[in-house]
């Protein structure tokens, strides 16, 4: 008999194909846009918690968007994001979808964000790996924190957001041939920005 968790996971179970990258990318884009433009009045919570809740949701959207855009990157380049069944000694991450033909991949388990970040340079060449990896790792911490705990205050470091923005600009340019303008506004004097355009050919 299936557990409640297994039963619900089956509603979304799928072995993802290369062509699925576009959907992952579009939804990632929407999370980043929401993170950029989310304001205090968009958050349904008591007035004294609006700033806290808005910033928490911004970080959560950034983190989820980061995971989805990396999965889009892997799929676009022909790599699997589904885990192989336990005990499979043939498939070593990252592995190409073509190498998984005839192998059983788990429909309800995909690779976690940390391993996607750690192995990204095996999938694509990063023009500025230091900038990209730093921003991606910050976004991972944002997602993990907001998915697990709530703190009433923290040592705010605006450079974290600038680092993520820099990482996304480099990542979109190298992985998707797109130029993005992004600013996840936190301060009252910061204008929210999320724009995407195709990179012009030289």
Is 131 inside any structural domain?
A: yes
Is 115 inside any structural domain?
A: yes
What mean pLDDT comes out for the span 152-170?
92
Is 62 inside any structural domain?
A: yes
pLDDT at 140: 97
Is 4 inside any structural domain?
A: no
Is 135 inside any structural domain?
A: yes
| Long-range residue pairs from 177-183, CB within 8 A, at least 24 positions apart, any chain | 182/32, 182/36, 183/36
pLDDT at 167: 98
What is the domain extent for residue 138?
17-198
Is 25 inside any structural domain?
A: yes
- Say yes or no to pLDDT of 26 above 90: yes
Is 6 inside any structural domain?
A: no
- Say yes or no to pLDDT of 201 above 90: no
Share of the chain above pLDDT 90, in %: 82
Band (pLDDT 50/70/90 cuts) for residue 12 is confident
Residue 79 CB neighbours (<10 A): 24
Is 7 inside any structural domain?
A: no
pLDDT at 11: 85
Number of domains in the chain: 1
Handedness of CA 25, 60, 97, 73 (dihedral sign): positive
Residues with Cβ within 8 Å of 74's Cβ and at least 6 positions away in sequence, in order, are: 21, 80, 81, 94, 116, 123
- Say yes or no to pLDDT of 51 above 60: yes
pLDDT at 163: 98
């Amino acid at each position: 008999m299936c557990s409640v968790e297994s039963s619900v996971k089956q509603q979304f179970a799928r072995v993802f194909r290369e062509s699925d990258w576009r959907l992952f990318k579009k939804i990632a884009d929407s999370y980043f846009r929401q993170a950029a433009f989310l304001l205090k009045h968009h958050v349904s919570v008591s007035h004294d918690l609006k700033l806290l809740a808005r910033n928490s949701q911004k970080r959560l959207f950034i983190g989820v968007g980061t995971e989805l855009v990396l999965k889009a990157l892997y799929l676009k380049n022909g790599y699997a994001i589904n885990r192989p069944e336990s005990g499979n000694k043939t498939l070593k991450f990252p592995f190409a979808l073509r190498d998984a033909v005839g192998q059983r991949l788990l429909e309800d388990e995909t690779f976690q964000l940390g391993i996607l970040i750690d192995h990204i340079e095996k999938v694509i060449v990063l023009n500025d790996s230091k900038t990209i990896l730093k921003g991606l790792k910050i976004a991972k911490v944002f997602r993990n924190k907001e998915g697990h705990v709530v703190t009433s205050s923290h040592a705010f470091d605006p450079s974290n957001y600038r680092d993520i923005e820099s990482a996304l600009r480099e990542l979109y340019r190298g992985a998707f041939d797109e130029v993005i303008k992004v600013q996840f506004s936190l301060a009252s004097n910061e204008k929210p920005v999320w724009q995407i355009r195709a990179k012009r050919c030289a």
